[in-house]
Structure formats: structure tokens, C-alpha cells
């Protein structure tokens, strides 16, 4: 993948110079700029008005100290971030990630991707992302609560239900959202939908927990249908065992597929009989245990140490749902050798650029994250609607809206790819369709 357009190639150089040592951000920008070469040729006004320059520069970067006290009475210091990337379409919207690998470059890449993903949903939400290098793993509930309260004490100064509405991501699930919401309410004396992914008892939306995984499968099913296929009877390999992975496994199984792997950062399991999802939910959602425990309940299953070799398992469909760059070129070649027909991204940027190109060059159907995993943020936006109107929807109403949003994203990506001369390239299609709407809104709002 090469950026041939002179202006965009120069912009890429400037992005790398202005954001040194942030390879994940460079990777995300490069992929988008590559797709936008036809758009730059057709719309010289976007260059004149600095739209490309502005879209790669966050509107605001907030970085703060998060002091908290552990169970031994010792003071711990972490770093918190919120990057408010682009508000052309609506309030900043995007998750919070708590993981030791978090630094400014990771949050910037995620915030940048979020702009286009949110645009693709068709809902009025801008792009943002945040998080901390805090690791919730191995911490007590009280430690997690003290951390969340300290994090929100600072974050509350910068967010609001019409300004910036964070949600969960890696390491931020129902427990963390509850603690964050409780502290916001206490500080601001305001009971509004300032966070999404809330518990159902205090303003959450039905089907938000399932939304990203279900949405991934709705998109994949639309893509398969368009190619005279479906999930029925297919073997599926999934990585991860968190929120996205669990509900992707559930929906793929409901649609007639057999999911045979799941993983965590220590290793992966292969169960040829099909994953026992109730057990995974108990181990991961309730008991917070490692995936290796699975084989004590299912001795016929295999456990392999190390998570990257999960892609050696032969399958028809691969759904990477753990983290960025978890699937490289060698893994892509192995999957192709073993007959994979479709790959859709549940995690954000789980494929390296080389892996993605390898799939595309070998005729594997490929759905990119900013389209395929947009279901989570879409239902978050529906949660905002329900909070504003103080009127909760049924599970069926949310799920059916989610399905139609995912089918629309597939259609609009196909149409954009065709219009710009790259039919079937869903990566380019998603980038173009997502970008055009934001660019139009930025043009209309002037130089701000």
C-alpha cells in the first residue's frame, strides 16, 4: 500500500514528524490516507480548506495524573488520557481503555479510527477516546473503585452529556462504568447520560453488552450473503474472550456456525465440539479467571500457551476480537493455506497492514474494524437517545435497529468502494464513506 498522491504523501510525512514514536497512530492514518487518494483528486476544495490536515490533528488532548491508594495503603500513580479528536458530527464519543500498554499513541490511533466509525453509523456522534495505563487485572474491587473515582475526578471537568460521552473498551466493563458514573454523579450533582454501557438499573440500554459482537456478526452475515454464503455450517476461529469475543461467539453460533477457539493474553483453547459459552461467561465475566481453566471442565479441549498461534487453527471464518496487531502476515498466510474464506475485525486494527493486504490479494472477504465493530458505539448512541428521552427501549427494538445499522454500513461501504473505482474493497469503502460525511460537516462549519 503506497500513498501516491503527492499532497497526501507529504501529509503522512508531517503526521509522522509531529507525532514521533507513535507507530499505531501512523499505521491508522496511513491506511486511511491511502484510501482517500481518489477523494483528494475529486475534491480539491478539501485540500484548499485544510480538511485533510485538520482531520489528522486532534481538537484537544487531555493528559492527567491519576493518584490512588492501594489495599496496602501505598500511593500509586497512573496516567489518564482523553483525546477529543473531532466534533464535526456531534459530541465526542468513544471508549475508555484501561491496560498497561496504553500511551498517547494508542489513544490517538483509537480516537482517529473512531471519527470514521461513528460517521459510518449514520448517528450524530463525533470521535474521541481515552484511558489509562492502569491494569485492573489482579486488583481488588475496592482498588478498582478508588482508581475509577480518582480518574473521574479529573475527567469530569472535560465531559458532559452534550460534550463528550465516554464508554467502555479493553479493561473497562460494567464494574468500571458503574464506579465512574457514580463518581461523576456525585461530583456534578447531575444524573445524565454522560457515560454509556451503564447497568440497566441506572440508565443503560438493553443489548449494549451484546452490541459489538452481535453487530460484527450482522455485518459478516451481510457480507457473506452478498457472496452467496452464510454462517450456517461454517467453522469459526475467534481470538479474545472479553466483551466483543463472547457476544460474537454467541451470535455466530445462533446463526448456525461452530466456534472452536477463544483466547486471552496467556493462551488459547481449541474445542472441536464447539465452545461452551456459558462456561466462558462464568469464567471471564463473573469469576475473572484465565481461559486455561476451561480444560478442567472440558478435558477433550486443548489449551495452548501463547495467544498468537490461535490462527494456526483451520477455519472458514476468522474473527479477531482481542487487540491491535494480533494477526500478522505469517498468520494471514497460514489462515489462507488452511482455507479461510472471510475475515472480519472485532477488535480495533487487529490485522497489521501486511496481513490485511495478504487477505485482500488472495480473494479472502475482508471487513475492516471501523465498519465491522461499529455496533458497540451505535448502540451507545441509542443509549444516549434513551437517556435524553427518559424512555427505555426493548431488547428487540435495539437489536433490530443495530442489525439495520450494520447492514447499512456494509451497503454504504460497498457503494463508496464502487464509486471510487475499487469495487469489493471494503477497507477503502469504509474509509471513504466515513470520511466524506465528516468532511462535508467540517466544510459547512468553517475553519474552526
Which residue numbers are catalytic? 129
Smaller CB distance to ligand NDP: residue 40 or 193? 193
| 344 lies in the site for ligand NDP, by CB under 6 A | no
Smaller CB distance to ligand NDP: residue 91 or 215? 215
Options 168, 193, 203, 429; binder of ligand NDP; rule CB under 6 A: 168
Q: Using CB atoms within 10 A of its CB, is residue 291 exposed (0-12), middle (13-18) or buried (19+)?
A: buried
**Cβ neighbours of residue 198 under 8 Å, at least 6 residues apart?**
177, 178, 181, 204, 383
| 176 lies in the site for ligand NDP, by CB under 6 A | no
Instruction: Answer whether 377's CB lies under 8 Å from 405's CB.
Output: no
| 373 lies in the site for ligand NDP, by CB under 6 A | yes
Applying CB under 6 A, the site for ligand NDP has a residue count of 25
Q: Which window, 7-15, 26-34, 139-147, 234-242, contacts ligand NDP (CB under 6 A)?
A: 234-242
| 348 lies in the site for ligand NDP, by CB under 6 A | yes
* Distance separating alpha carbons of residues 108 and 24, to the nearest angstrom: 8
* Distance separating alpha carbons of residues 41 and 413, to the nearest angstrom: 19
* Distance separating alpha carbons of residues 325 and 308, to the nearest angstrom: 10
Smaller CB distance to ligand NDP: residue 257 or 322? 322
Instruction: Answer whether 106's CB lies under 8 Å from 24's CB.
Output: yes
Smaller CB distance to ligand NDP: residue 316 or 326? 326
Q: What is the phi/psi pair of residue 268, to 5°?
A: -140, 155
Q: How far is the CB of 112 from ligand NDP (least distance, A)?
A: 13
Smaller CB distance to ligand NDP: residue 407 or 440? 407
Q: Which window, 70-78, 218-226, 261-269, 385-393, contacts ligand NDP (CB under 6 A)?
A: 261-269
**Cβ neighbours of residue 133 under 8 Å, at least 6 residues apart?**
78, 79, 99, 100, 101, 102, 103
Q: Which window, 83-91, 316-324, 383-391, 425-433, contacts ligand NDP (CB under 6 A)?
A: 316-324
Residue from 365, 372, 323, 94 nearest 213 by CA: 372
Residue from 180, 170, 184, 174 nearest 147 by CA: 180
Nearest residue relative to ligand NDP (C-beta): 242
Options 222, 307, 382, 442; binder of ligand NDP; rule CB under 6 A: 307
Options 22, 143, 164, 169; binder of ligand NDP; rule CB under 6 A: 169
Query: Which run of H or E residues covers position 344?
Result: strand 342-344
Q: Which window, 46-54, 69-77, 86-94, 164-172, contacts ligand NDP (CB under 6 A)?
A: 164-172
Options 150, 235, 323, 360; binder of ligand NDP; rule CB under 6 A: 323
Q: How far is the CB of 249 from ligand NDP (least distance, A)?
A: 11
DSSP calls for 225-252: HHTT--STT-EEEEE--SHHHHHHHHHH
Helix residue ranges, H only, 56-201: 104-120, 141-155, 174-188
Q: Which window, 26-34, 175-183, 236-244, 399-407, contacts ligand NDP (CB under 6 A)?
A: 236-244
* Distance separating alpha carbons of residues 319 and 326, to the nearest angstrom: 11
| 283 lies in the site for ligand NDP, by CB under 6 A | no
Report helix, strand or coil for 413. helix
Q: How far is the CB of 308 from ligand NDP (least distance, A)?
A: 8
Site for ligand NDP in 57-96 (CB under 6 A): none
| 243 lies in the site for ligand NDP, by CB under 6 A | yes
Instruction: Answer whether 428's CB lies under 8 Å from 39's CB.
Output: no
Smaller CB distance to ligand NDP: residue 153 or 292? 292
Q: Which window, 86-94, 174-182, 273-281, 317-325, contacts ligand NDP (CB under 6 A)?
A: 317-325
Options 204, 242, 367, 429; binder of ligand NDP; rule CB under 6 A: 242
| 368 lies in the site for ligand NDP, by CB under 6 A | no
Query: Which run of H or E residues covers position 78?
Result: strand 75-86
Note the residues at the interface with ligand NDP (CB under 6 A).
168-171, 173, 212, 240-245, 264-266, 307, 321-323, 326, 346-348, 373, 376
Amino acid at each position: 500500500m503506497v500513498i501516491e498522491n503527492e499532497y497526501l504523501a507529504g501529509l503522512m510525512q508531517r503526521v509522522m514528524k509531529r507525532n514521533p514514536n507513535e507507530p499505531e497512530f501512523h499505521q491508522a492514518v496511513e491506511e486511511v490516507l491511502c484510501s482517500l487518494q481518489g477523494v483528494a483528486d475529486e475534491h480539491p476544495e478539501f485540500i484548499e480548506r485544510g480538511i485533510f490536515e485538520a482531520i489528522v490533528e486532534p481538537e484537544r488532548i487531555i493528559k492527567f495524573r491519576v493518584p490512588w491508594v492501594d489495599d496496602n495503603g501505598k500511593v500509586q500513580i497512573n496516567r489518564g488520557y482523553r483525546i477529543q479528536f473531532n466534533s464535526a458530527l456531534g459530541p465526542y464519543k468513544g471508549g475508555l481503555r484501561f491496560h498497561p500498554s496504553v500511551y498517547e499513541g494508542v489513544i490517538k490511533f483509537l480516537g482517529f479510527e473512531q471519527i470514521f466509525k461513528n460517521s459510518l453509523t449514520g448517528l450524530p456522534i463525533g470521535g474521541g477516546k481515552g484511558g489509562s495505563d492502569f491494569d485492573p487485572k489482579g486488583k481488588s474491587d475496592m482498588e478498582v473503585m478508588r482508581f475509577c473515582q480518582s480518574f473521574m475526578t479529573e475527567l469530569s471537568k472535560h465531559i458532559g452529556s452534550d460534550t463528550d460521552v465516554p464508554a467502555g473498551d479493553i479493561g473497562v466493563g460494567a464494574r468500571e462504568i458503574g464506579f465512574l458514573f457514580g463518581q461523576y454523579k456525585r461530583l456534578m450533582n447531575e444524573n445524565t447520560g454522560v457515560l454509556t454501557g451503564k447497568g440497566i438499573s441506572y440508565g443503560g440500554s438493553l443489548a449494549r453488552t451484546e452490541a459489538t459482537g452481535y453487530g460484527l456478526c450482522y455485518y459478516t452475515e451481510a457480507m457473506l450473503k452478498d457472496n452467496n454464503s452464510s454462517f450456517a455450517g461454517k467453522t469459526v476461529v475467534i481470538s479474545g474472550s472479553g466483551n466483543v469475543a463472547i457476544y460474537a461467539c454467541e451470535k455466530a453460533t445462533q446463526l448456525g456456525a461452530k466456534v472452536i477457539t477463544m483466547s486471552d493474553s496467556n493462551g488459547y483453547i481449541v474445542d472441536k465440539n464447539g465452545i461452551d459459552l456459558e462456561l466462558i461467561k462464568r469464567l471471564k465475566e463473573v469469576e475473572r479467571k484465565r481461559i486455561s481453566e476451561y480444560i478442567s471442565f472440558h478435558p477433550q479441549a486443548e489449551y495452548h500457551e501463547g495467544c498468537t498461534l490461535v490462527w494456526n487453527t483451520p477455519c472458514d471464518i476468522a474473527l479477531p476480537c482481542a487487540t491491535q496487531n494480533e494477526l500478522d502476515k505469517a498468520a494471514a498466510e497460514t489462515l489462507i493455506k488452511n482455507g479461510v474464506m472471510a475475515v472480519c475485525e472485532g477488535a480495533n486494527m487487529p490485522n497489521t497492514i501486511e496481513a490485511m493486504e495478504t487477505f485482500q490479494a488472495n480473494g479472502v472477504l475482508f471487513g475492516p474494524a471501523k465498519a465491522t465493530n461499529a455496533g458497540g458505539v451505535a448502540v451507545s448512541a441509542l443509549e444516549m437517545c434513551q437517556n435524553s428521552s427518559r424512555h427505555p427501549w426493548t431488547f428487540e427494538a435495539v437489536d433490530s435497529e443495530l442489525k439495520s445499522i450494520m447492514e447499512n454500513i456494509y451497503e454504504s461501504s460497498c457503494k463508496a468502494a464502487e464509486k471510487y473505482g475499487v469495487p469489493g474493497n471494503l477497507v477503502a469503502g469504509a474509509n471513504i464513506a466515513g470520511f466524506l460525511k465528516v468532511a462535508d460537516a467540517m466544510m459547512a462549519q468553517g475553519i474552526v
